[in-house]
């Protein structure tokens, strides 16, 4: 069974790279704007966040749903051997170039690992495993090598395999499956909808009402679930669902997630989601 332990963020082993290397713009997700390479004002000397327990209340919900898939500690401890970016531009500049690339590669590794855990995708497992090994090898290069990786080309190759795995799994779901690939479903009223085995790849589901919807074996890779209402929804076995997507949505104690994911803390304080007005 593929190991996902290295694909989960370990902030204690990272030099706060997501708080420095990446830019963000003032919006509903971030209270302020900052440039790439500029440290967030809330970053502490020990690379921790000074408002970690109050991010949502202080206007930084975007931070709570970011997932580096373990790229932060990989870059900090392996690619740069424990040298942090505060040592100077000879470390910081290449480190900030490498981190976004590593993050994308680790995301692909997560999806490939997911696909290898799907029994129905067994016909494509050999190719998936080869792609995983090749992608993992790219992450072990030096700073210049990692920064030079053609991520779009890697993503295109991997995506072909992921789509084949998805089709095999969803093909086992009886009946006609909905195809909403890349669809604009902002605020869509899908309460109680039968979306078993649906193709929701890249769909925009911001603020969608998915309460009590059946999303078992639905392909959710790249779907935007920010603010989507998932109270009582069944996402058991949902394909390629990430923790970041779950964190961005609104669920409750009755929401069922794949075994690899945890219910976000902000779900547990909710009882029953209010009916939309």
Return the sign of the alpha-carbon dihedral for residues 100, 181, 216, 230: positive
Backbone angles phi, psi at 200, to 5 degrees: -120, 25
Q: pLDDT for 169-217, tens place per residue?
A: 999 999 999 999 999 999 999 999 999 999 999 999 999 999 999 999 9
What are the boundaries of each domain within the chain?
A: 5-170, 176-277
Residue 53 is predicted with a pLDDT of 87
Overall average pLDDT of the 219-242 stretch: 95
Q: What percent of the chain has pLDDT over 70?
A: 96
Residue 68 has pLDDT above 80, yes or no: yes
CATH code for the part of the protein at 176-277: 2.160.20.80
Q: How far is 41 from 35, CA to CA, in rounded Å?
A: 12
Distance, in Å, from the CA atom of 174 to the CA atom of 178, rounded to the nearest integer, reads 12
Whether the Cβ atoms of residue 37 and residue 95 lie closer than 8 Å to each other = no
Three-class DSSP category at 194: strand
Q: 276 CB contacts (<8 Å, ≥6 apart)?
A: 189, 209, 229
pLDDT at 1 over 60: no
State the Cα–Cα distance between residues 186 and 68, nearest whole angstrom.
Answer: 26
Let me know the angle formed at the C-alpha of 240 by 237 and 242, rounded to the nearest 5 degrees: 100
């Amino acid at each position: 069974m593929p190991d996902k332990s290295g694909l989960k963020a370990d902030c204690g082993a990272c030099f706060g790279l997501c708080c420095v290397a990446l830019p963000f713009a003032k919006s509903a997700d971030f209270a302020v704007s900052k440039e790439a390479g500029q440290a967030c004002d809330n970053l502490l000397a020990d690379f921790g966040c000074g408002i970690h327990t109050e991010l949502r209340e202080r206007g930084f919900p975007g931070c709570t749903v970011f997932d580096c898939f373990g790229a932060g500690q990989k870059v900090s401890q392996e690619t740069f051997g424990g040298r942090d970016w505060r040592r100077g531009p000879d470390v910081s500049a290449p480190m900030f170039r490498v981190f976004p690339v590593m993050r994308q590669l680790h995301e692909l590794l997560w999806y490939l690992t997911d696909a290898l855990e799907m029994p129905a995708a067994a016909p494509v497992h050999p190719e998936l495993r080869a792609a995983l090994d090749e992608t993992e090898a790219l992450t072990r290069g030096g700073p210049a090598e990692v920064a030079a990786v053609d991520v779009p080309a890697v993503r295109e190759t991997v995506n072909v395999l992921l789509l084949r795995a998805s089709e095999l799994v969803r093909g086992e779901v009886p009946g006609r499956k909905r195809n909403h690939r890349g669809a604009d479903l902002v605020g869509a009223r899908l309460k109680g909808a039968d979306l078993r085995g649906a193709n929701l790849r890249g769909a925009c589901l911001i603020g969608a009402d998915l309460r009590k919807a059946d999303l078992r074996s639905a392909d959710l890779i790249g779907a935007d679930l920010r603010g989507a209402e998932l109270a009582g929804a069944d996402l058991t076995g949902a394909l390629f669902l990430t923790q970041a997507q779950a964190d961005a949505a609104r669920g409750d104690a009755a929401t069922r997630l794949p075994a690899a994911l945890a219910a976000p803390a902000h779900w547990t304080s909710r009882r029953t989601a209010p009916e939309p007005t």
